[in-house]
């Protein structure tokens, strides 16, 4: 596949990242202890041995007052020490001690509190008021009160550089910048440059619901970009995290994964949001739907960032998350194309460097079984026959001629590797 534009060339994300993110079930109440417990669980469960390596702290790590995020002497957010008494570096050190990588979260702009204090910009003679655009409110879902930045002003890039350098000093390996839209392209570029200048390799992810019209720009400056809004359903009672999602929120990703397919490739990936597998049916999906969830993400070569509580890992789900044949479909770093969409029946396919094809058949309906058939010629197999392996069952199915069929329960998938027969 030829990417539509050069990917962010920071040497990272040659394959889609794998790991865990705090938002789905910890939401607004992260603490050092909770994040460290998840890191420990990735290690102790064996998930780390299957490629899950990032432990990403999302929103609500920063301290706020009525004017937004509190700031340090150089106008940057400060951690909420009631949640993170040792600061961010201590959490990063714990994660690194587990042999894993640490991710953190930020939003565009400069805090109102930095402008009020006219904070000096580290390493320069400039101050917050020199670069702030106080008529522009940037998105911040927690504290609000983030102003825009005029990147034509001296000191603007240096301000972002100083923030990125602080993240690097803390030991950050992955940065998600949230609340990004097309008007924030200057911020996206500035953070891309700042992370390069930081002296540390930091994976750079954009969120959320980014415009496909600017896909080439996202690919040029970032390692990943959220193609839709949140996968979470926010349908728990009394503010409970569970259920984390529902089939509607997962199945809506099929169309976007198809639309964005051409923009995925080494260096930059279409981010379909968190993978809600790990806590069994509590996540809001049946076991069939969870397998389909992972199968779509893998076929799309999307980041595999778990949103579940890994300290209570369900046995059925652990088997899914440690199936290296399925994970390998994601990690082959090729985004599949949708070749059939007929009502609730879909077929996706991709060709791997070995010459084998990976094919996924889906029944996306919520009721009623369906028999789905795909001709080998539709997949790209011209020999008329192929040796088939069922990747979920990890069973060889022999050589099958002409076409492949599967009868699938509602929400079920069949994932196969097909090696064209030689005459």
pLDDT (tens digit, 9 = 90+) per residue, 315-346? Answer: 999 999 999 999 999 999 999 999 999 999 99
- Whether 178 sits among the annotated catalytic residues: the reply is yes
pLDDT surpasses 70 at 1:
no
With a pLDDT cut of 90, the percent of the chain lying above it is 97
Average pLDDT over residues 104-125: 98
Task: Identify the pLDDT of residue 4.
Answer: 44
Task: Identify the pLDDT of residue 9.
Answer: 80
Give the pLDDT band (50/70/90) at residue 239. confident
Give the pLDDT band (50/70/90) at residue 3. very low
pLDDT tens digits, residue range 345-396? 999 999 999 999 999 999 999 999 999 999 999 999 999 999 999 999 999 9
Average pLDDT over residues 100-126: 98
pLDDT surpasses 90 at 18:
yes
Q: pTM of the full predicted structure?
A: 0.97
Of 8-12, 221-225, 246-250, 416-420, the one with minimum mean pLDDT is 8-12
Task: Identify the pLDDT of residue 64.
Answer: 98
pLDDT surpasses 60 at 2:
no
Top-confidence residue, 371 or 6: 371
Of the candidates 80, 93, 230, 281, the residue annotated as catalytic is 230
pLDDT surpasses 80 at 310:
yes
pLDDT surpasses 70 at 31:
yes
Peptide bond into 183 cis (omega under 30): no
What integer best gives the mean pLDDT of the chain? 97
pLDDT tens digits, residue range 168-199? 999 999 999 999 999 999 999 999 999 999 99
Structural domains of the chain, with CATH:
18-335 (3.20.20.70), 338-420 (2.60.40.1180)
- Whether 230 sits among the annotated catalytic residues: the reply is yes
pLDDT surpasses 60 at 25:
yes
Average pLDDT over residues 51-69: 98
Task: Identify the pLDDT of residue 423.
Answer: 64
CA distances from 347 to 263, 270, 278, 285, 357 (A): 20, 19, 26, 21, 12
pLDDT surpasses 70 at 299:
yes
pLDDT surpasses 80 at 223:
yes
CB 297, CB 304: distance < 8 Å? yes
Task: Identify the pLDDT of residue 377.
Answer: 98
Beta bridge partner(s), residue 269:
224
pLDDT surpasses 90 at 6:
no
Of the candidates 58, 59, 130, 178, the residue annotated as catalytic is 178
């Amino acid at each position: 596949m030829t990417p539509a534009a050069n990917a962010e060339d920071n040497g990272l994300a040659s394959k889609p990242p794998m790991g865990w993110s705090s938002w789905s079930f910890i939401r607004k109440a992260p603490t050092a202890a909770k994040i460290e417990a998840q890191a420990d669980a990735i290690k102790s469960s064996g998930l780390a041995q299957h490629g899950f390596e990032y432990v990403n702290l999302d929103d609500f790590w920063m301290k706020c007052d009525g004017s937004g995020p509190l700031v340090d002497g150089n106008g940057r957010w400060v951690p909420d020490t009631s949640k993170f008494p040792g600061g961010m570096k201590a959490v990063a050190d714990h994660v690194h001690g587990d042999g894993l990588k640490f991710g953190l979260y930020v939003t565009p702009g400069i805090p109102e509190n930095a402008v009020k204090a006219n904070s000096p910009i580290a390493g320069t003679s400039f101050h917050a008021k020199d670069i702030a655009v106080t008529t522009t409110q940037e998105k911040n879902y927690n504290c609000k009160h983030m102003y825009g930045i005029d990147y034509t002003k001296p000191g603007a890039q240096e301000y972002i550089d100083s923030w990125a350098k602080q993240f690097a000093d803390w030991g950050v390996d992955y940065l998600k910048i949230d609340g990004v839209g097309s008007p924030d392209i200057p911020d996206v570029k500035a953070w891309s440059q700042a992370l390069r200048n930081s002296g540390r390799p930091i994976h750079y992810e954009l969120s959320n619901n980014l415009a496909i019209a600017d896909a080439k720009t996202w690919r040029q400056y970032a390692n990943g970009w959220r193609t839709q809004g949140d996968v979470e359903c926010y349908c728990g009672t009394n503010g409970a995290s569970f259920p984390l999602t529902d089939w509607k929120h997962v199945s809506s990703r099929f169309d976007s994964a198809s639309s964005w397919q051409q923009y995925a490739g080494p260096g930059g990936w279409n981010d379909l949001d968190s993978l809600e597998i790990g806590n069994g049916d509590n996540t809001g999906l049946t076991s069939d739907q969870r397998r389909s969830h992972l199968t779509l993400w893998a076929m799309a070569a999307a980041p595999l960032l778990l949103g579940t509580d890994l300290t209570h890992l369900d046995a059925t789900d652990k088997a899914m998350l440690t199936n290296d044949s399925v994970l390998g479909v994601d990690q082959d770093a090729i985004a599949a194309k949708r070749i059939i969409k007929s009502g609730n029946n879909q077929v996706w396919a991709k060709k791997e460097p070995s010459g084998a094809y990976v094919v996924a058949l889906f029944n996306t309906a919520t009721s009623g079984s369906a028999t789905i058939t795909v001709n080998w010629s539709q997949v790209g197999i011209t020999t008329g026959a192929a040796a088939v392996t069922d990747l979920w069952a990890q069973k060889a199915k022999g050589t099958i001629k002409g076409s492949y069929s599967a009868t699938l329960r509602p929400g079920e998938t069949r994932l196969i590797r097909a090696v064209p027969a030689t005459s």
